[in-house]
Structure 1
Amino acid sequence: MMKSITEYYSDPGFTVFKVPKWRAKCYKFLSVDVWGNVPSPLQRRLSSWYSSFYDKSFSKRIIKHYVKLNYSDKDYLEKFKPPKGKTSFESFQDFFIREFKELPDYDSPYVWPCEGLLCEEKKVGDLNFVKVKSDVRSVSTVFGLTEDDIPKEYSFTNVFLHNKNYHRIHAPIDGTITRLQHIPGDLVVLRPWIYKENPSLPAFRNERYNIDITDNNNKVWHISIVGGPAVGTIELAQGIELGQSVQRLQELSLFYLGSTCCMAAPLSPRYHGPNTFVEMGTPY
């Protein structure tokens, strides 16, 4: 496994919570069968209302305590800058969508698009079908495609972004955007440890943006940016349009609270497996 690069990340570890099976079933019931049956528009309104508190100026007082609690490096925040050209973090949301002062860059043509826990990694052909609201869906459903649209030898990965993680998604390769798609949906809980048999279940039913990037070898990399509870917005970066060329590490989107990023790629990860931490910009 590749070791984390501490030049950019002082606290790259991620605890995989050992949730007892009975408790996981309870959490799943509350997420899928209770909250999941609330009409999607109402889920979004409640999530937007909740997330609005983090846009208030008083919420910036949380930042100092949050950093102290979650990162052992007292200078962690010095690696980042406020978003959108601001000179200071004016709210907790500003901290949540922080930008790197300098993007990590490694000598690899293929990089991870985000930071977080790699909670699932399998060949597309080895993934089971998932039942969602009485519909049986293949992994291609995550990306808004039909079953045979993604080759079975492709590798499916799902990275869960904890609240403490960096919440911007970047291009994993050089290429051209050949498809953009928004799929409305639910906002069930993303925590993978409460879905024992299928940690990617929320990606099959939640609201998401799908982006296809065709690389210089004419291979398509499918990326799905999945929202969760309290996600007020998934925002595409400026210039992310159909037919637009993108460079490796170019920003694709950001989340306002909570997220998961799925990818179906023609290559398998070389240094990471399930339940390991991946860092944006490190070799895929």
Structure 2
Amino acid sequence: MSLTSRLKQQIFIKAQNVVPQHQLSRIVGKLAAAEHPIVKNAVISAFKAQYGIDMSIAEQSNALKYKSFNEFFTRALKDGVREVDQDPRSIVSPADGAISQIGTIVEGEVFQAKGQSFSVEKLIADPQLAEPFKNGQFATVYLSPKDYHRVHMPFAGTLTETLYVPGELFSVNQTTAENIPGLFARNERMVCLFDTELGRMAVVLVGAMIVAGIETVATGKVKPTGRLELNQHDLFLEKGAELGRFYLGSTAVVLFEKDKMQWDAAFGATSAVEMGKALGHSL
């Protein structure tokens, strides 16, 4: 890395601690929800051009037909675009994006990047709920701005708890993952916990700077309260069923118990993934 690149990286990281994260995200959230045609069309057009969004796979392929940027960003895909792997033993990707990291949770620590890790107990924010995953398996999937932003079930299961965890809103990308300790266990997030045929499973939807919201099928759009909020559920969801969505991009972390499943060796950091494609299988 050149001196100029390192300097830019250092400035970017330092700015994360200075920028009013929540206030900025609220402002962006209001803009993203705006339905005024001139405003929303300008924002959608600029975003689409910047990131090269492929609208041919969207259910509504005309970007300007969406009533707001939020509706455009969380757009549904055409039927058949993402087929869910039907092998009963398969565990599938919860989203389109790229693997940030994937592997084994070692003595309760989840690998983040370049020597950085975070505690699964801190990620879930409840020692009792975190206990089953302490030596299990994890996969962290990053959803970039150009990706499809709905999160789906990696494996069939019954949603038993959701836990909203307040936190910071650092940007989520490779640079911040390598330089901000415990990134995914510090940002605001929604922890979704399941009973499955493989034991306990968790899908954690992690917020980020200018992410205008997280939504789940059980809770609706999350309203940040600044305090932990645990809710009980009894909702069965098939593999591949929609679990939630991000209003602007972020990350999903999937957790399984020890000795219940294994990841396909073909997947590692930076591997591209698509929702519904097999990432691993049960043991």
Please classify the TM superposition score into its range, dividing by the shorter chain length.
0.7 to 0.9
Q: Say if 2:83 is the partner of 1:104.
A: yes
**For residues 226 and 236 of structure 1, what CA distance do their matches in structure 2 show?**
12
The answer to whether the 8 Å contact 1:24/1:194 transfers is no
Q: Aligned AA for 1:117?
A: A
The answer to whether the 8 Å contact 2:120/2:134 transfers is no
Partner in structure 1 of residue 30 of structure 2: 52
Partner in structure 2 of residue 268 of structure 1: 262
Q: What TM-score, normalized by structure 2, do the two folds share?
A: 0.75
Partner SS, residue 99 of structure 1: coil
Q: Say if 2:162 is the partner of 1:183.
A: no
Give ranges in structure 2 of 5+ residues lacking alignment. Answer: 112-116, 221-231
What is the Cα deviation at residue 260 of structure 1? 1.0
Distance 1:122 1:29, change over 3 A: farther
**For residues 232 and 162 of structure 1, what CA distance do their matches in structure 2 show?**
15
Partner SS, residue 252 of structure 1: strand
Distance 1:197 1:54, change over 3 A: closer
Q: Deviations over 1:160-217 (max 9, x none)?
A: 111111111111111111221101111111122233266x832111111000122124
Partner SS, residue 264 of structure 1: strand
Distance 1:82 1:45, change over 3 A: farther
Partner in structure 2 of residue 207 of structure 1: 188
Partner in structure 1 of residue 225 of structure 2: none
* Runs of 4+ deviating beyond 3 Å: 19-23, 61-72, 126-130, 150-153, 238-241
Instruction: Map residues 149-188 of structure 1 onto 2, 5 A cutoff.
Output: 149-188=131-170
Partner in structure 2 of residue 235 of structure 1: 215
Q: Say if 2:139 is the partner of 1:139.
A: no
Aligned residue pairs: how many? 247
**For residues 165 and 150 of structure 1, what CA distance do their matches in structure 2 show?**
31
Partner in structure 2 of residue 26 of structure 1: 11
Identity of aligned residues (%): 22
Partner in structure 1 of residue 174 of structure 2: 192
Partner SS, residue 272 of structure 1: coil
Q: Deviations over 1:51-75 (max 9, x none)?
A: 3223333222454564455448xxx
Distance 1:182 1:20, change over 3 A: same
Q: Say if 2:280 is the partner of 1:256.
A: no
**For residues 230 and 184 of structure 1, what CA distance do their matches in structure 2 show?**
15
What is the Cα deviation at residue 274 of structure 1? 0.8
**For residues 268 and 230 of structure 1, what CA distance do their matches in structure 2 show?**
34
The answer to whether the 8 Å contact 2:99/2:269 transfers is yes
Partner in structure 1 of residue 227 of structure 2: none
**For residues 108 and 12 of structure 2, what CA distance do their matches in structure 1 show?**
23
Q: Aligned AA for 1:52?
A: K
